[in-house]
Structure 1
Amino acid sequence: MNLEDYFDRPRVKIYTHFPYGRDGSQVDEVASWTSGRGLSVRSGHQLFPEKFENFHGAKVGVTALPFRPYWIEEETKAPDGALQKTYSGSDGLLLTTIAGALNFSFAVLPVAGWGEVTSLVMERKSMMAAIYHILLPQRQERYDFTFTYEQIKTDFCMATPSLGSNWQSLYYPLSHGVWASVLAMLVVFSFVLYVVTNVFCRDDIQRLRSWGVTEVVLGSLLGQSIVQRTASSSGYRVLVATWLIFAFIVGTAYRGNLTAALTLPAYPPRPETIAQLVKAVESVTMPSYGTEFRNFFLQSESFEFKTLGAQMVIVPSALDGLRQALVKKQSHMDGRRYLDQMIAEHFTDARGEAQLYVGRQSVLPGLAGWPVPHDAPYKPQLDRIMMRIIEAGLYEKWSEDMLRQAREEGRQKEKERMEKQKLDGEQVEDEEANKSDKAKALNIVHMQGPLMLLLLGLLLGLLVFASELVVGGKTWP
């Protein structure tokens, strides 16, 4: 306000500053006041105008770093042949839409890392950091956030466990309890059968000795016929009939589950929760912005979070952490969509099978927004337009498009690599990929268990035969 004399009477002129006016930053008179006329607002003006509804084509500075699928930078050729950067990704498209609605253009300021992305916002050199940041107490002390447009799930990923040795498939069809029950029934039934055929049978010929009882019990369980010279009493027949029914049921169930275990092998258990994660890994990696997460976890009262914070290691990039997770006993932690994008691009083969998996339980579900300076006057305009875009479903559509495109590009790259191998004479991997959708016959790998069991039986038989020769001497016909 300026106080001046007007025909010997005081007059007050009221001005307002427009940081993004038609001619750039400018000051306009919006009203005046005199003792005779009172307050008079100029035509076409408002006493308290909205200064950030229209930026009138001004160029503002923002900060961001490539972070798929949220922010993607690509260099394209302009019509005049010059190289220019284009920005896509869900957050890149969100910023482009907001810029069109508020009539401004933006320039991405050069930054050296994620720390500088937000430091320029705090210094008010950047209008905003146009990439999502999770709301953490430490962050809210340094800068403000826009409308929380995204619910981010910070998850962990690990290498997909490989199949165990195929010889173990002989044991997998039945659980520990079933194996223990069958073993207990073998002992109990052998004892009962021995008592029945020796105590209650008066004919020495029909009595079964220890080896005879073992031959009847184990032989029938393995599908062998029963020796006919055994006892013929009613008690013996009832016992053997009962055992044959039991052996038939157990054998049928075992053979069916064995077939399934050989053709559809089960993967070993893998960590799916935070409690399982901290016990299974030696370290958890995150990029440079993981320092704030580590400090947050260390301040928690939860034992799992404190252990997780102590295990966290900062790596140069997310790709380095994911590659280490493939070969080391460790995990990588980041946003769910970002992990899905990186796995689809770099860790998925031509058949669409991923080498990494994402855990079922989220480590830190939270809300996310764009960092802006504290008390930023343009925050209400950003919030309003963001809310409209989210409610229209555009942001979710952009995210799904980015992920689908990444998966298609990843599979295409893998196919091109395999085609190159095929031209170079390396056809084994390509043939396996072509067979992936067809029925697979059991091969030598699937039959490791039976073959190893047969080999052990032959070795045991040879050892028993040699022992008989040594102990009993040589007997020739």
Structure 2
Amino acid sequence: MLVHLPYSPDGARVLQVASWTPTSGLRYLTPPTLFPEKYTNFYGATINVTAFTYEPYWQESIEGNTTRYSGTDYNQLVTVAQTLNFTFRVLPSRSWNEVTDQMQVRKSFMATVIYPVIPQDLERWDFTFSYDQTAGKFAMATPVITPSWLSFCYPLSGQVWIGVLACTLTVCFTLVKITRRKTWQTRHGVLSTGSVVLESVGTLLGQGLYGRLSTSQSNHILVGTWLFFSVVVGTAYRASLMASLTLPRLPPRPETIEELVKVIDRVTARSSGGTYTKFFLNSESSAFRELGSMMVEGDDMDGLNAALKMKSAHLGARLTLQQIISRNFAKLDGTSRLYIGKEKLLQLSIAWPVPHDAPYTPQVDKCLRIISQGEQSFKDTLDDLFDIAHADALKVITIEEDKQFLISQRMKGRPGAMAGIDKTLSIKEVIKLHREYMELKRREKAATAFAQAQEIAELESSSAVLCHLEMSPVVTA
């Protein structure tokens, strides 16, 4: 019985593991197994992998003629390579599609960079053990106020402007009717309709009265009311305009999928051979289907640049979007025109794509599972590293409440916690201290004023005594 070993100390070879004869039966020539594991040890062989820059999971930097790799997925690949005893060569790829294409035709053993486990992709390849979760987010430009003549209308709402217009038309119509009466024209002369409208609107705009409308006593109440109305509206408008120019009211930022699809014309995502588009179009959510109908696949940088120039958003992993924005789009003060929405589009498992029925997948899965368990164990025990209490603290502490608090702090999950500051009590204490301080200042001021008054009184008393002595006659014997 022969078995093919693709990897061995002598390279690929055929090994006889057993023989059978009618007289002696089955006789093992190697340790008693007919189906030895072929991929637990690659014996230093070099295998091909594919990847593409996707911060912080896979990063590439060129130093001279050497390409250096880094990132969480790269470190994970190094650990797997050390465990299975192989070296790897990263095949050049110009796009995400080329990464998976080379893996599908088995030119590459696997694509060693995160891929979300989407059902549509299972038709084209398999996935390794899912070693983490990723939150899909969207990034887009923060809405800004576009310059427009409508900016003059922003300080007051539409209902207020309609009310002002209605009052203006009513006053103009009433004054025109009054000035058209013959008795008014006999006493004050003829006043054209344009002059009436000009003077009424001018009053509203703060231009003052020409005096023609206010000469009649019958107009005093109407004109006075109109003047008061104009002062109130003009003052409110100017104050609101100044406030809106000083502290402009920005348009609301889309934070959910429903809000996003209402304000954008397209959405970009990393190239995946149409997988993302199919995934969203086949969703039961109407917002997801609308998002899929606007989807265009492309590079992360191109998608984020497009988000700054047009009504567009870009989809990606939260950590990747944060790193790209902070590195390429942040200003010196740390701010950026791009922001990341609060709502999670997707919460997907991530894994490495491998060809269908790849025989080495179980060994890679085992390595990734151990790495994932080690990371989780580290996270679970991280809080236990910071127990800085004395070894005999429970014996030294005499207050029972402090003992119970320390015991709860040492329990799993640290259920014991210090209470936060009582802000209401803190505000009351600050107010009390301020009052005491002001009372002390008032008393000091009163004491100083009293001392000054007493000093002045003593000086005046001394002056009066001296004056009295000077004016008194001198008695001689």
With normalisation by structure 2, the TM-score equals 0.58
Quote the offset at 1:379 in angstroms: 0.9
Quote the offset at 1:272 in angstroms: 1.1
SS of the residue aligned with 1:21? coil
Structure ID, larger Rg: 2
Deviations 1:232-263 (A, max 9, x none): xxxxxxxxxxxxxxxxxxx9xxx9x9999888
| Compared CA separation, residues 266 and 395, structure 1 to 2 (3 A) | farther
Is 1:310 aligned to 2:297, yes or no?
Answer: no
Deviations 1:30-69 (A, max 9, x none): 2333444443334556333222111110000111122222
Amino acid at match of 1:345: R
2:51 to 64, 85, 94: 64
| Compared CA separation, residues 115 and 170, structure 1 to 2 (3 A) | closer
Is 1:146 aligned to 2:128, yes or no?
Answer: yes
Contact 2:330 / 2:336 at 8 angstroms: preserved in 1? yes
Contact 1:283 / 1:331 at 8 angstroms: preserved in 2? yes
Quote the offset at 1:209 in angstroms: 5.8
Alpha-carbon separation, structure 2, partners of 1:167 and 1:209: 35
Alpha-carbon separation, structure 2, partners of 1:264 and 1:117: 49
Amino acid at match of 2:257: I
| Compared CA separation, residues 360 and 172, structure 1 to 2 (3 A) | farther
| Compared CA separation, residues 356 and 293, structure 1 to 2 (3 A) | same
1:360 to 342, 358, 378: 342
Is 1:387 aligned to 2:369, yes or no?
Answer: yes
Deviations 1:407-430 (A, max 9, x none): xxxxxxxxxxxxxxxxxxxxxxxx
Percentage of pairs with the same residue: 43
Amino acid at match of 2:54: F
Q: Please list, as runs of the form range in 1=range in 2, the aligned pairs for 1:124-143 lying within 5 A after superposition.
A: 124-143=106-125
Is 1:24 aligned to 2:11, yes or no?
Answer: yes
Question: Who is 1:4 aligned against?
Answer: none
Alpha-carbon separation, structure 1, partners of 2:273 and 2:329: 22
Quote the offset at 1:314 in angstroms: 3.3
Aligned length: 330
| Compared CA separation, residues 150 and 35, structure 1 to 2 (3 A) | same
Is 1:296 aligned to 2:297, yes or no?
Answer: no
Alpha-carbon separation, structure 2, partners of 1:89 and 1:130: 11
Deviations 1:73-106 (A, max 9, x none): 22346xxxxx332211111111111111111011
1:157 to 126, 130, 139: 139
Contact 1:169 / 1:262 at 8 angstroms: preserved in 2? no
Deviations 1:113-166 (A, max 9, x none): 322221222222211011122222221011100011232222221112236789
SS of the residue aligned with 1:284? strand
Alpha-carbon separation, structure 2, partners of 1:55 and 1:219: 89
Q: Please list, as runs of the form range in 1=range in 2, the aligned pairs for 1:33-432 lying within 5 A after superposition.
A: 33-42=20-29, 44=31, 46-76=33-63, 83-162=65-144, 267-289=250-272, 291-315=274-298, 317-393=299-375
Deviations 1:384-433 (A, max 9, x none): 11122222229999xxxxxxxxxxxxxxxxxxxxxxxxxxxxxxxxxxxx
Question: Who is 1:432 aligned against?
Answer: none
Quote the offset at 1:365 in angstroms: 2.6
Amino acid at match of 1:275: E
Contact 2:3 / 2:14 at 8 angstroms: preserved in 1? yes
Q: Which residues of structure 1 form unaligned runs of 5+?
A: 2-14, 78-82, 184-207, 224-250, 398-477
Amino acid at match of 1:105: T
| Compared CA separation, residues 221 and 302, structure 1 to 2 (3 A) | closer
Quote the offset at 1:332 in angstroms: 1.6
Alpha-carbon separation, structure 1, partners of 2:336 and 2:128: 35
Quote the offset at 1:323 in angstroms: 0.8
Amino acid at match of 1:64: A
Quote the offset at 1:344 in angstroms: 1.4
Contact 1:151 / 1:365 at 8 angstroms: preserved in 2? yes
With normalisation by structure 1, the TM-score equals 0.58
Alpha-carbon separation, structure 2, partners of 1:142 and 1:23: 34
User: Structure 1: which 4+ aligned runs deviate by more than 4 Å?
Assistant: 163-177, 208-223, 257-266, 394-397
Quote the offset at 1:289 in angstroms: 2.2
Q: Which protein has the bigger helix share?
A: 2
SS of the residue aligned with 1:332? strand
Deviations 1:437-470 (A, max 9, x none): xxxxxxxxxxxxxxxxxxxxxxxxxxxxxxxxxx
Alpha-carbon separation, structure 1, partners of 2:348 and 2:260: 20
Alpha-carbon separation, structure 2, partners of 1:110 and 1:166: 50
Deviations 1:336-370 (A, max 9, x none): 22211211111111221122111122223322211
Amino acid at match of 1:58: A
Q: Which residues of structure 2 form unaligned runs of 5+?
A: 165-219, 380-477
Alpha-carbon separation, structure 2, partners of 1:137 and 1:55: 31
